[in-house]
Amino acid sequence: MNWICTLLVEPSITDWVSALSSFGATFIAGITAWYAYKQYLQPPVQEVEPSAAQDVEDDAELTKVIVFRTSKQKTYLEITERGLECYLDDSRPNKGGHQWTLSKTQIQEILKNSDYSVSPGAKARTGLFSIGQRKNWLYSKALFPEPEYLHGTLTEIFKRLLQKNGD
């Protein structure tokens, strides 16, 4: 209030600059507070939870599951006539391709003995899964936020493999 009285009595250039800078700072603080308040009132943007239809085109025909994905790589498990196969697609030349195959007999033993596991690990974006002798394969937590989800998916694909091949 003192600066207003000074401006009314003897305004000097210094008084005007001081008054204008105080007014400007107050105006900017007010605009910033208003903007922050408006942002606070907006509902947060949430990612859509993937539905079962988005994850797998048709559960009755579950034959392929993507378990790991980055901008350069994708790892997936696929049921084939030979058994359960693991493929690594890599955008870099001469990388990736077929990694391994587990036969129907091997999958029967793995399922019978529960010889498969999923571990979230310490990393934020990836965890590890193992199937029988195939140990420490990466999976994306963006695709499987909970280890139990991937474990259940592995169980389901093992059962589908055994059903598909007449067991």
pLDDT tens string 99-135: 999 999 999 999 999 999 999 988 889 999 999 999 9
**pLDDT above 80: residue 1:** no
Q: H-type helices in 11-146, by residue range?
A: 13-41, 52-55, 104-113
**Pair of tokens at residue 41:** 């009132």
Are 161 and 104 contacting, i.e. CB atoms less than 8 angstroms apart? yes
**Pair of tokens at residue 91:** 């955008």
3-state DSSP call for residue 72?
coil
CA 161/CA 99 separation, integer angstroms? 18
CA 79/CA 161 separation, integer angstroms? 6
CA distances for 17 relative to 20, 22, 27, 28, angstroms: 5, 8, 15, 16
What mean pLDDT is reported for the chain? 80
CA 129/CA 139 separation, integer angstroms? 7
Q: What is the pTM assigned to this prediction?
A: 0.62
DSSP code of residue 58 = -
- Under the banding of pLDDT at 50, 70 and 90, the label for residue 53 is very low
Which range, 9-13, 128-132, 162-166, is most confident? 128-132
- Contacts of residues 74-79 at CB distance under 8 Å and 24 or more positions apart, as own/partner, are 75/99, 75/137, 75/138, 75/139, 77/154, 77/157, 79/157, 79/160, 79/161, 79/164
